[in-house]
Chain A
Amino acid sequence: MNLHAIRAIYLYEMARTGRTLLQSVVAPVVTTSLYFIVFGAAIGTRIAEIEGVVYGAFIVPGLIMLMLLTQSVSNASFGIFMPRFTGTFYEILSAPVSAFEIVVGYVGAAATKSVILGLIILATAGLFVPLRIAHPGWMLGLLVLTAVTFSLLGFIIGIWAEGFEQLQFVPLLVITPLTFLGGTFYSIDVLPPAWQTVTLFNPVVYLVSAFRWSFYGIADVQVGASLAVTLAFLAAGLAAAWWIFRTGYRLKA
């Protein structure tokens, strides 16, 4: 195990985050605050409580997930796309580092950043609505697991992408719609039965549901099912990353 390499990649990526601190923290915080003002305070007061939780508080876990998913994907994809784009990736290819070590370094850094961001947004939410966290350990665990899984997805996108458009394509056209349709702003119980079934094919539903359960003890789907789906997704991501480095896909001529 080349621990020095993992450390070097991790610290390098964290330093990159430090340089872009403003845009990487301020923007999501401002966006989330806007959601709270509009959906929590303005519209939320006219919406009934959902299973005993005021609407403003109900949407907090979903909003954190929304940010966590989009930020994880975009950070991690950018982190690995940049060295490909600038030509510095030759160094990583020629170094005594394994695929796994590269993934741990890049994905670890992106996930760390997402988790920090998630916690900042949580704190921001606390300023707007009354928060209650029933299972803090699970809450943190799910936060980390989701950040890692979607950073890994971002990593794969960053290797697949051949330009900046493709880099933005997935967060914008896949992650955001899936999150909006994944029960961020409503309980899927309110949907007609047919749509409820369709929704169960949306992986984000499982994340949001489990995460909300860690706050309020209410869930749309079984927590166990949520965990299983997330872990399966993580395993698929790891397999894809292993395949990429094994075959040199988009990396080696």
Chain B
Amino acid sequence: MHPIISISKLSKTYATGQQALRNVDLEIRRGEIFGLLGPNGAGKTTLIGAVCGIVRPSAGSVSVGGHDIVREWRAARTLIGLVPQELTNNAFDSVLGTVRFSRGLFGKPPDPARLQQVLEELSLWERRDSRVMTLSGGMKRRMLIAKALAHDPQVLFLDEPTAGVDVELRQGMWQAVRRLREAGVTIILTTHYIEEAELVADRIGVINHGEIVVVDDKAALMQRLGRKQLTLELQAPLDALPPALAARGLALAAGGRELVYSYDAQAEASGIADLLGELEQTGVGFRDLRTTQSSLEDIFVDLVRQRR
């Protein structure tokens, strides 16, 4: 099956000289939820902007649904809905008015029933006549999603959709995203939280300093990324590791004063309970313990190093 979006050798250097995208190659499959993961300033918003016609690429090409975004810009853009990262502030408009505007702008004939459906799905129908300025941050975000969906796009970009949205509403948002995918919409969302990408995405691409570092299925990637470490501060230093503990993959550190256990954070059973039992049996006492997870930054550093 042809990819719905294909990005080839895309680069962007801003007027300031800032190189935000470097030779990006990326294909998005039809019907998937693609998580674009990267720290602040990595180039996520720039990448989306280039696909959507908001940022002028410096080099490279993009096609959406087989339409080149420059030569066949109209056909390409009709397929896309965009939810921007920044909340907009069209204070005096009504919710329904602004959503109706979006549908027309994307070339679709008026369809009040469809707009009602979109607003209902995002729990905004009750607020249809409210002015935008009276909405909470979470509602504004949903209103922007409603605007992006008003013309029934095949591809939906969600740029950091959970920024400023509380945990409860996030659940609702992910449910809505999954429903959209069931309806055949391809979704590309950006985030700088691993957990978030993990929760909803089918495939994940990691971007750092304007370069796509890795693209992989979620499961495969999580295994690579999701290592956790348990460090135990021992009551008495050990000269050597008891064989039973060595067999579990533990290692001594800090001159025998600490025991380190690395495990897969994704695994059903981490084995920690067993491990603690084992320690008790072998009579190894510990004063304190801590767990650490490699931060996203560490992971990027690792990934970049692996590639070079």
Contact = CB atoms under 8 A, between A and B. Distances in A.
B101 A93 contact: no
Contact of A94 (B53, B89, B107): B53
Contact of A86 (B54, B56, B88): B88
B84 A7 contact: no
A245 B105 CA distance: 17
A95 interface: yes
24 contacts: A4-B103, A4-B108, A5-B105, A5-B107, A8-B103, A9-B105, A82-B90, A86-B89, A87-B84, A87-B88, A87-B89, A88-B89, A90-B54, A90-B84, A91-B147, A94-B77, A95-B105, A96-B74, A96-B75, A96-B77, A248-B56, A252-B55, A253-B14, A253-B15
A7 B109 CA distance: 10
A96 B106 CA distance: 6
Q: Which of A12, A16, A91, A252 has the most CB of B within 10 A?
A: A91
Interface in B51-91: 52-56, 73-75, 77-78, 80, 82, 84, 86-91
B175 to A, nearest CB: 25
Interface string A2-39: 10110111011001100100000000000000000000
Interface of A: 2, 4-5, 7-9, 11-12, 15-16, 19, 82-83, 86-88, 90-98, 248, 252-253
A5 B91 contact: no
Nearest to B73: A96
Nearest to A252: B56
B236 to A, nearest CB: 61
Nearest to A7: B104
Nearest to A247: B56
B281 to A, nearest CB: 62
Given A8-B104, A82-B90, A253-B49, 4 more contacts: A88-B89, A94-B52, A94-B53, A252-B54
B55 A253 contact: yes
A85 B160 CA distance: 21
B107 A96 contact: yes
Q: Which of A4, A86, A94, A97 has the most CB of B within 10 A?
A: A94
Contact of B102 (A86, A87, A91, A253): A91
A4 B103 CA distance: 9
Sort A-B residue pairs by CB-CB distance and give the 4 closest, nearest first: A8-B104, A87-B88, A96-B77, A94-B52
B80 A88 contact: no
Interface in B82-133: 82, 84, 86-92, 97, 100-110
A8 B97 CA distance: 10
Given A15-B97, A94-B77, A94-B82, A86 B91 contact: yes
Given A2-B74, A4-B108, A8-B101, A88 B90 contact: yes
A91 B82 contact: yes
A223 B14 CA distance: 49
Contacts of A19: 92
Interface string B169-211: 0000000000000000000000000000000000000000000
A95 B75 CA distance: 10
A2 B103 CA distance: 12
Contacts of A4: 103-110
Nearest to B49: A253
A87 B86 contact: yes
A15 B101 CA distance: 11
Contacts of B87: 87
Contacts of A91: 82, 102, 105, 147
A86 B90 contact: yes
